[in-house]
Amino acid sequence: MENTKFRIEHDSMGEVKVPSDKYWAAQTERSRQNFRIGAGIETMPAEIIKAFGILKKASAIVNSALKPEKMTAEKLGAISKACDEVLAGTLDGHFPLVVWQTGSGTQSNMNANEVIANRGNEIAGKKLLHPNDDINMSQSSNDTFPTALHISAVCVIEDKLIPAVDKLVSTFRKLEAENEGIVKSGRTHLQDAVPVSFSQEISGWRTSLERDREMILSSLPYLKQLALGGTAVGTGLNAPKGFDERVAAEISKLTGKDFSTAPNKFHALTSKDEIVFAHGAVKALACDMMKIANDVRWLASGPRDGLGEITIPENEPGSSIMPGKVNPTQCEAVTMVAVQVMGNDSAISFAASQGNFELNVFMPVIAYNFIQSVRLLSESIVSFNDNCAVGIKANKEKMRFNLHNSLMLVTALNPYIGYENAAKTAHKAFEENISLREACVGLGFLTAEKFDEVFKPEQMV
């Protein structure tokens, strides 16, 4: 690039000054100047940029086969090398645009076109590539952005979220085995309930995650259908016959994932129902992580004035004023992430409802929220696993004390003295602060010997 501070680029609207050390050109610069909203913070997600690198390279490969007179081997070589640099992240500093731009993502599509063209020209050592004519050949912003959205969504789910879930599931399986046979008091409505084994309780956490995993995976076949080839309104204008199928196959090769072309491009451009469905499953995982994290921090509450039935790792001091205090910070991080994901779901739902006529024009905010949800949830699950779940230990003495102190153990007496007499026993024990045994014998419902014979809390699970 030139060694001056600025260079002059032009587009259909005229000339524009562009920083000389950047590969973007006129349309990117116009957007950068016109949308100073969240600049430097809420920029287009890196996953979307990488997806553009994938689809631009795939498009060039297919264009070279279908339009060899326009997409020459020389052009393909320069584009491919530039796209590889996009994928490697070495050109990240050349994608400055914010989420809050045109709702079709046109300016981010042009950002990709301009950066790849200018870097490709630098690689070729001459003015070889044009952003629109070559990099955007057979495409439109209206089909490239939804394609980038689907590619990035599939990649973050398969490569980041599912491995994170699997890691925590594995930890819970190990904890189940380690805590086999330990019986504790169950709780419903935040009140004492009949006994449950600790391994059974953990199995509930594990199965929730496994079911969420199944639901998330069930959304992927829909996300793997790509809009590319629909061009501006779904008709495929200016794309050669067969481009859509061949480019989906090429994207599959580049990513190692089985993408296909969307059977109806009019739907693919205007409806974001696949993203809504997939994020709904992601939200379900967030809901379960909220529940699990809350269970863990309640069970670990104390150390003396709470439930105290488990201990969790002590990672950092918990108070600036109370010496020795340690807080369940990993649980708190998970629950905050869950709240963010739930909020993102509302934003995605509203945005997806705005598909007017042939195009949805809320796609950048959908992409931003979807990728943030998956990224945050993935990273919080790994953090929770590594810094909390792996170190969960049962406080067997406290569990046993709480179990035998629970009035709901009276449920075991129902078959012998009936519900009403069992209720009287529980009330007497509570009101007089005596044991169930003392209350039951005192009321004359069972002898001490018979009570000991039938009352075995550890066998109630």
Active site residues: 189, 319
Does residue 154 contact residue 257 with C-beta atoms inside 8 Å? yes
Strand positions, DSSP E, 276-392: 310-311, 355-356, 359-360
Give dist(CA 29, CA 18) in Å, integer.
6
Cα dihedral 96→100→102→104 (10° resolution): 90
Output the CA–CA distances (angstroms, integers) from residue 151 to 155, 275, 346, 382, in the order listed: 6, 11, 22, 23
Strand positions, DSSP E, 205-261: 225-226, 260-261
- Which amino acid does the sequence have at 209? L
Give dist(CA 275, CA 345) in Å, integer.
10
**CB burial of residue 33 (10 Å; 0-12, 13-18, 19+):** exposed
Does residue 358 contact residue 314 with C-beta atoms inside 8 Å? no
Nearest to 86 by CA among 124, 40, 64, 118: 118
The Cβ-side half-sphere exposure at 93, using a 13 Å CA radius, reads 4
Does residue 394 contact residue 179 with C-beta atoms inside 8 Å? yes
Could you tell me which residues come within 8 angstroms of residue 252 by beta carbon, excluding any fewer than 6 positions away? Answer: 258, 259, 260
Number of other CB atoms surrounding residue 407 within 10 Å: 16
Could you tell me which residues come within 8 angstroms of residue 329 by beta carbon, excluding any fewer than 6 positions away? Answer: 315, 316, 318
Does residue 100 contact residue 159 with C-beta atoms inside 8 Å? no
Give dist(CA 45, CA 28) in Å, integer.
16
Could you tell me which residues come within 8 angstroms of residue 456 by beta carbon, excluding any fewer than 6 positions away? Answer: 412
- The H-or-E segment that residue 7 falls in is strand 6-11
Tokens of 102: 């045109």
Residue entry with tokens 């150390």:
303
Rg (Cα) of the chain, in Å, rounded?
30
- The H-or-E segment that residue 63 falls in is helix 46-66
Give dist(CA 360, CA 310) in Å, integer.
49
